[in-house]
Amino acid sequence: MKRPVYWLPPLLAVLLGAAGVLAFAPFGWFALGWLVIAGLFALLRGADSGRRGAWLGFAFGCGWFGVGTSWVFVSLSVFGGLPPAVAGVATALFCAVLALFPALACGAFARWRSGSFVAEAASFAALWVLCEWLRSWLFTGFPWLSLGYSQAPPSPLAGYAPVVGVYGLSLLAALLGAAIAEVLRRWFATPCAATRNRLFCSALPLLAIGVLLAVGDLLGDLRWSEPSGPPVKVALLQGNVPQDLKWRPEKLTDSLAIYEHLMREHPAMLTVLPETAIPTFLDQLPPQYLERLLSHALEQHGDLLFGVAVGDGERYANAAASIGVSPTQLYSKSHLVPFGEFVPPGFQWFLDMMRIPMSNFMPGPARQRPLEIGGQQVAVNICYEDVFGAEIIRALPQATLLVNLSNTAWFGDSLAQPQHLQIAQLRALETGRPMLRATNTGMTAVVGADGRVQAVLPPFTRDALVAEVQGYAGTTPYVRWGNAPVILGSLLLLVVFAGWRRRRVR
């Protein structure tokens, strides 16, 4: 009798996780997200203990995050100054920690699975979503590569986003994956050879697949917000200033000249510069330079929004400041990046090894009013703040536009830039608002209220994206309720499943 090959399922799980990254931008094979989850679901149904399930989930997570967030190595080694070996170990540890979350979901599922397809599909999807949500806030949160982001347009599931948000999309994608796995199991494992009987046996999961896709397609035709006010001409500037030169004092004049030139070459009512486009403190800017910027904005009867540090050198914030016909206003970034923007307790030694300038920002208030600029109510967010949908909706429904200022030069020519743009698509869908992105090296873009990218600049080019953008007003169900319905619904599914399983065991 042959002994079971215990190493094969974890290997398949790693490969499935790595392949799943193709479901996200820039590849966009959204259906592959369903298929890799189907493969993982099938592997878990063959696990005979919670421990084996956890190992399968951990292996899947290592493939998923090891490929999908490989750009962390670039930021640590190329721009952070760590030796490649140290950066490699740090990146591997980072991915291993992230892999613990799918391990938790899969271990719990394998431990308590019941044998009933409906109960197992529902509990698997609920556990998956709850662990994604846990990852979004534990230790300040890192919700990157949540399954739902792979379902941005043109996925038929995208229509659900204004109702249930990105975690609702994760739940539905996990349900689809489980249903696909069940169809394949019933089709090939049924004792009935006739195709007619196979179709009958597969009717329930096939019906679930059809209903989920059909409803999503119908929801995609609904519009939850409506145009508000006249369109505004915007110019999103992409300076393409190399990260290793940006913070050198002798290069400050060059950076200032780049953005002043782009601004004058591309006049608009609302001009947006990227995160820390002005690589110095606001009060240290040459007065004559600030006067020229203000003069240009006044000539356009508009406003200029630019990323700059504000503070006294001891306590400072990553901010966006506006000048122009509207009163001067300020937004301070509230959700900071660990290690990049603040030092977690006990990790100063790690920051001392890296060359990250201005890496100890103070967070701004959690709730800040939209900025009244360019004739719009603008909800500003900086860098990866737009990964947190529940935080973006704090400025709604007052805001008519979402504007993101980013500097992804830290991650080089990697998957980070297209993945970040895809995240912006979900924020636009959830809120029913356009999302404008002004970045240093890419991807500077205009995302419509329907979540589709309307225009984008090629990365690593110096240019401006000029467009007519319409503001929107209204309240989507997600803006009204946030993530609460999906999280509470997932918990309720687990409670119902636990009660059903207890009665069945008796």
Query: Known catalytic residues?
Result: 275, 333, 383
- Cα-Cα-Cα-Cα dihedral sign, residues 436, 439, 445, 449: negative
Left (φ > 0), alpha (ψ -120 to 50) or beta: where does 81 sit?
Answer: left
SS3 of 323, please?
A: strand
Helix, strand, coil share (%) of the chain residues, nearest 5: 55, 15, 30
Alpha carbon 181 to chain centroid distance?
27
Label residues 279-308 b or e (16+ Cβ within 10 Å = b): bbebeebeeeebeebbebbeebebbbbbbb
Write out the H or E segment, with its range, that includes residue 92.
helix 84-112
Tokens of 19: 């392949």
The DSSP output letter for 314 is S
Angle at which helices 8-20 and 30-45 cross, to 10° = 160
SS3 of 225, please?
A: coil
| Look-up of token digits 């986003």 | 161
The rounded distance, in Å, linking the Cα atoms of 279 and 256 is: 9
Residue length of the chain: 506
Measured in degrees and rounded to the nearest 5, phi and psi for residue 364 equal -85, 175
Measured in degrees and rounded to the nearest 5, phi and psi for residue 152 equal -65, 160
Tokens of 259: 């953005």
The rounded distance, in Å, linking the Cα atoms of 292 and 172 is: 52
Tokens of 234: 């915007």
